[in-house]
């Protein structure tokens, strides 16, 4: 833009006397007339584009869009060359604009132009020059320019010289050539031959992975399928999950998402996908078969393949905000349909309430927004076959007008919905707003990412806890957080790492983040990593440091998989994946963010995978490690044996003073005789009993093994002080005798009868 006159022409308006840009009432049409298509009244439900046969036997598609407050809606259809034709939707039912267009078949690309007032000072941001993505589009075709978002995709003049009012100056240039389009999809698939695993919560082991990152470098997956849903469905990928023993994959966002302009301008991309723009559409970038509807079938086939292997599919979903950001963000969908209806606005109505750190927050209290979210959730369960959801920044969804409210409309609707109340529901129980930290507060039906577990385990193994009280709670299911309202130990999703932060290997290799590759001057990402580099920052040739790091990884994984609750691993942690110290790899769609499968053949890292799979198998075999009820700590028999007991290295039960004293060693006894509940045949549940000794000190310690009634003899099952674990039972030890536990080691001993 070379002159103020040109800027004025782009805006298509002049300033009023008070400095506010004047509203433009009439949308600008292209110079060339746009063909129109015939449209019939159609139906207001269901929302979205639904292919069907009309009452006269003519095939076509019914289009329905909620656009509260709009003055008019145009449906725009695009041919293969990008040519546009339009149909004015004249039927309006309960703020839903609708129409049936004969001859529109699956594969048709489309979008909407919505007419209304342009008055950002009151929150009104309608601009018919902007082609909008249907919020209910089931497939999306096309992407944004790799070098950055075109200025035409903004509802306002992005480059207006007075940036403090730029968002109030309307841009009348057509955005259609620069934005993706929705695609009409034919619902021709059913789930009659699918068998959902339906793994009980207590038996679950979750594996968080990225569709592209998990498959992009896998040598067993054909090159043309790497990075795709088909790649994840490939036998080579499924085999790894089965050998590892996980029961569910938790997929980083697969809803259609957009890349932020600032990343595109730096030659980067939004890799994680927490920037949703289409809540019904599988992200087209992960499709090997095509993007004009084929991605839907490919996703379904992936789900079927995982189900056939006994693996559930959980989606990480981002309903708290969208890719449209704040008032200076692009106009892609909801902002141009009804800005005031979809987003939480500040009292001045021009700017957005931001509880997410991403520029905007969906106004979930509004019925149509709540409908959008719950319709989307039900669609993914009933028509796409998924088994549950992890809700990003779930506290933002639980806000009523301002405060987080566990009786909020969103949580109430989920609790009574006959479809959604039966699937796995995981909350990330916080947002960045006031009062947003809600760990332990979500109601029954919900599980939660337990960051207090994460922090305690990290601190224990870097020997930074003042005492062992916190570890006692976290190892035994976090009853201090979840033993209320009928919640169970599996309400706690235990994790040491997640996609956000260091990998497990980096946690023991770096004291500081190293995010320079993100292009933000290493300012992004948390500084509170609770990590320890084991004596050298980053990769090193020092064999003593390398050996210690591998031992620490064994300690962390063993602790996680022996803890009561639901364990969650991150893809690649089981084989020592590194991000080179980057703790915020959200924009690293490259080797930094992808799983390195060569580690499985590395003699240094292969044993870590073998230990992890062995521990998961041990967990599956022994119900005492996956309890469905909290420990009571009380004796249930005449000999005084309790379901849970804690011991000091002296072999004595811990006193209150021991819990408050500085300590690096903790013994946890789990009784297999006192497991609540009965099996499916009504018989009592009986199991082996175990003693876990966790020693975080640098030097060895002699730990006296508790005698009767706890045990007469023990055998070592896991010893993290060894690089490899023997498959045969370990050496026996007599109760009452000391066993030497090397520094920084977990010993798991089974009670022999």
Q: What is the CATH number of the domain that holds 673?
A: 2.60.40.1180
**Cβ-count burial of 561 within 10 angstroms (0-12 exposed, 13-18 middle, 19+ buried)?**
buried
> Is beta strand 118-119 parallel, antiparallel or unpaired with respect to 745-752?
unpaired
Measured CA distances, 550 to 217, 673, 739 (Å): 23, 35, 23
What is the model's pLDDT at position 494? 98
d(CA 296, CA 187): 9
d(CA 479, CA 428): 18
Residues of the chain scoring pLDDT < 50:
1-9, 12-31
HSE toward the beta carbon, residue 501, CA cutoff 13 A? 20
Tokens of 490: 């599996």
Q: Is the dihedral of CA 682, 686, 687, 689 positive or negative?
A: positive
Query: Is residue 574 among the annotated active site residues?
Result: no
Helices (H) and strands (E) in the chain, counts: 17, 31
Q: Is cis: bond before 709, omega within 30 of 0?
A: yes
* Residue tagged 């995010």 (tokens): 515
Question: Per residue, what are the HEC states of 344-404?
Answer: CECCCCCCECCCCCCCCCECCCCHHHHHHHHHHHHHHHHCCCCCEEEECCHHHHCECCCCE
N- to C-terminal Cα separation, the chain: 83
pLDDT tens string 384-419? 999 999 999 999 999 988 889 899 999 999 999 999
Residues 6+ positions from 400 with CB-CB distance below 8 Å: 365, 408, 409
Residues spanned by the domain of 673? 634-752
Residue 394 inside a domain? The answer is no
pLDDT tens string 84-137? 999 999 999 999 999 999 999 999 999 999 999 999 999 999 999 999 999 999
What is the model's pLDDT at position 14? 37
Residue 683 inside a domain? The answer is yes
Is-contact 490 204, C-beta < 8 A?
Answer: yes
d(CA 11, CA 152): 11
Q: Which of 119, 392, 574, 674 is catalytic?
A: 392
92 φψ region: left (φ > 0), alpha (ψ -120 to 50), beta (else): beta
Phi and psi at 743, nearest 5°, equal -60, 140
d(CA 31, CA 453): 62
Name the residue among 241, 130, 229, 215 with its Cα closest to residue 175.
Answer: 130
pLDDT tens string 325-366? 999 999 999 999 999 999 999 999 999 999 999 999 999 999
Is-contact 548 606, C-beta < 8 A?
Answer: no
d(CA 333, CA 130): 9
Residue 664 inside a domain? The answer is yes
What is the model's pLDDT at position 10? 52
Question: Per residue, what are the HEC states of 678-692?
Answer: ECCCCCEECCCCEEE
Measured CA distances, 722 to 47, 72, 253, 552, 747 (Å): 59, 71, 38, 11, 10
What is the model's pLDDT at position 5? 41
Q: Is cis: bond before 46, omega within 30 of 0?
A: yes
What is the model's pLDDT at position 674? 80
Phi and psi at 507, nearest 5°, equal -60, -30
Residue 653 inside a domain? The answer is yes
Measured CA distances, 627 to 203, 266, 565, 568, 644 (Å): 9, 49, 8, 16, 12
Q: DSSP code of 49?
A: E
How would you label 570-582 residue by residue, b for 16+ Cβ within 10 Å and e otherwise? bbbbbbbbbbbbb
* Residue tagged 């080797």 (tokens): 591
Residue 214 inside a domain? The answer is no
pLDDT tens string 25-36? 334 444 467 888
Name the residue among 731, 691, 729, 721 with its Cα closest to residue 707.
Answer: 691
Which three-class secondary structure state does DSSP give residue 141?
strand
Residue 102 inside a domain? The answer is no
Measured CA distances, 397 to 409, 442, 491, 523, 532 (Å): 9, 12, 19, 28, 35
What is the model's pLDDT at position 381? 97
Residues 6+ positions from 203 with CB-CB distance below 8 Å: 247, 620, 626
Residues 6+ positions from 606 with CB-CB distance below 8 Å: 575, 599, 600
Q: Which of 428, 448, 573, 658 is catalytic?
A: 428
Is-contact 211 252, C-beta < 8 A?
Answer: yes
Is-contact 690 749, C-beta < 8 A?
Answer: yes
Residue 716 inside a domain? The answer is yes
d(CA 146, CA 622): 51
Query: Is residue 392 among the annotated active site residues?
Result: yes
What is the model's pLDDT at position 727? 56
Q: What is the tally of structural domains in the chain?
A: 1
Please give the mean pLDDT across all residues of the chain. Answer: 93
* Residue tagged 């598609």 (tokens): 61
What is the model's pLDDT at position 3? 44
Q: Which helix (H) or strand (E) holds 211?
A: helix 211-215
Tokens of 520: 């933000």
Is-contact 705 736, C-beta < 8 A?
Answer: yes
Question: How many other C-beta atoms lie within 10 A of the C-beta of residue 328?
Answer: 14
Residue 316 inside a domain? The answer is no
């Amino acid at each position: 833009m070379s002159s103020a006159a040109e800027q004025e022409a782009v805006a298509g308006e002049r300033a009023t006397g008070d400095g506010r840009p004047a509203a433009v009432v009439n949308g600008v049409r292209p110079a060339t007339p746009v063909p129109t298509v015939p449209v019939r009244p159609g139906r207001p439900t269901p929302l979205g584009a639904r292919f069907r046969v009309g009452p006269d036997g003519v095939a076509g598609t019914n289009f329905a869009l909620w656009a509260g407050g709009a003055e008019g809606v145009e449906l725009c259809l695009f041919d293969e060359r990008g040519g546009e034709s339009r149909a004015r939707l004249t039927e309006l039912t309960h703020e839903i604009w609708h129409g049936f267009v004969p001859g529109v078949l699956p594969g048709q690309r489309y979008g909407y132009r919505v007419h209304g007032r342009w008055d950002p000072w009151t929150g009104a941001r309608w601009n018919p020059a902007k082609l909008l993505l249907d919020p209910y589009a089931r497939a999306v075709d096309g992407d944004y320019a790799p070098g950055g978002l075109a200025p035409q995709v903004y509802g306002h003049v992005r480059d207006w010289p007075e940036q403090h009012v730029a968002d109030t100056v309307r841009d009348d240039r057509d955005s259609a050539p620069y934005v993706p389009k929705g695609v009409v999809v034919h619902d021709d698939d059913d789930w009659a031959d699918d068998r959902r695993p339906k793994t009980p919560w207590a038996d679950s082991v979750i594996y968080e992975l990225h569709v592209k990152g998990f498959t992009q470098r896998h040598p067993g997956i054909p090159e043309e399928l790497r990075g795709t849903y088909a790649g994840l469905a490939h036998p080579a990928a499924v085999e790894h999950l089965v050998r590892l023993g996980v029961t569910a994959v938790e997929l980083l966002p697969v809803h259609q998402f957009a890349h932020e302009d600032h990343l595109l301008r730096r030659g980067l991309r939004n890799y994680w996908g927490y920037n949703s723009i289409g809540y019904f559409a599988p992200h087209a970038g992960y499709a090997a078969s095509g993007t004009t509807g084929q991605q839907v079938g490919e996703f379904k086939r992936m789900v079927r393949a995982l189900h056939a292997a006994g693996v559930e599919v959980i989606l990480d979903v981002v309903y708290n905000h969208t890719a449209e950001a704040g008032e200076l963000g692009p106009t892609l969908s909801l902002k141009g349909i009804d800005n005031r209806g979809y987003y939480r606005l500040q009292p001045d109505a021009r700017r957005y309430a931001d509880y997410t750190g991403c520029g905007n927050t969906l106004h979930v209290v509004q019925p149509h927004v709540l409908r959008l979210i719950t319709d989307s959730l039900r669609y993914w369960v009933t028509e796409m076959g998924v088994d549950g959801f992890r809700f990003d920044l779930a506290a933002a969804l639980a806000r009523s007008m301002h405060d987080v409210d566990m009786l909020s409309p969103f949580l109430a609707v989920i609790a009574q919905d006959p479809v959604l109340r039966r699937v796995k529901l995981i909350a990330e129980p916080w947002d960045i707003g006031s009062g947003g930290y809600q760990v332990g507060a979500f109601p029954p039906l919900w599980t939660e990412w337990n960051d207090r577990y994460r922090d305690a385990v990290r601190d224990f193994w870097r020997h930074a806890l003042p005492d062992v009280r916190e570890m006692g709670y976290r190892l035994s299911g976090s009853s201090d957080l979840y033993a209320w309202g009928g919640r169970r130990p599996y309400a706690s999703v235990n994790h040491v790492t997640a996609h956000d932060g260091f990998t497990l290997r980096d946690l023991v290799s770096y004291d500081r983040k190293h995010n320079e590759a993100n292009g933000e001057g290493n300012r992004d990402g948390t500084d509170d990593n609770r990590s320890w580099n084991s004596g050298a920052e980053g990769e090193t040739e020092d064999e003593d440091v390398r050996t210690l790091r591998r031992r620490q990884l064994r300690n962390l994984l063993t602790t996680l998989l022996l803890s009561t609750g639901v364990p969650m691993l991150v893809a690649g942690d089981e084989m020592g994946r590194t991000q080179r110290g980057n703790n915020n790899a959200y924009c690293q769609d490259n080797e930094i963010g992808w799983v390195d499968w060569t580690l499985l053949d590395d003699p240094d890292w292969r044993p870590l995978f073998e230990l992890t799979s062995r521990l998961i198998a041990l967990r599956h075999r022994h119900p005492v490690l996956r309890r469905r009820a909290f420990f009571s700590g009380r004796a249930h028999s005449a000999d005084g044996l309790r379901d849970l007991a804690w011991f000091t290295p002296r072999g004595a039960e811990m006193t209150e003073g021991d819990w408050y004293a500085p300590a690096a060693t903790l013994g946890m006894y789990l009784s297999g005789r006192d497991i609540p509940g009965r099996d499916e045949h009504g018989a009592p549940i009986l199991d082996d009993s175990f003693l876990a000794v966790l020693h975080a000190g640098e030097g060895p310690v002699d730990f006296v093994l508790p005698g009767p009634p706890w045990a007469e003899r023990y055998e070592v099952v896991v010893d993290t002080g060894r690089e490899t674990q023997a498959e045969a039972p370990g050496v026996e030890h007599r109760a009452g005798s000391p066993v030497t536990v090397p520094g920084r080691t977990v010993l798991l001993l089974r009670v022999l009868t």
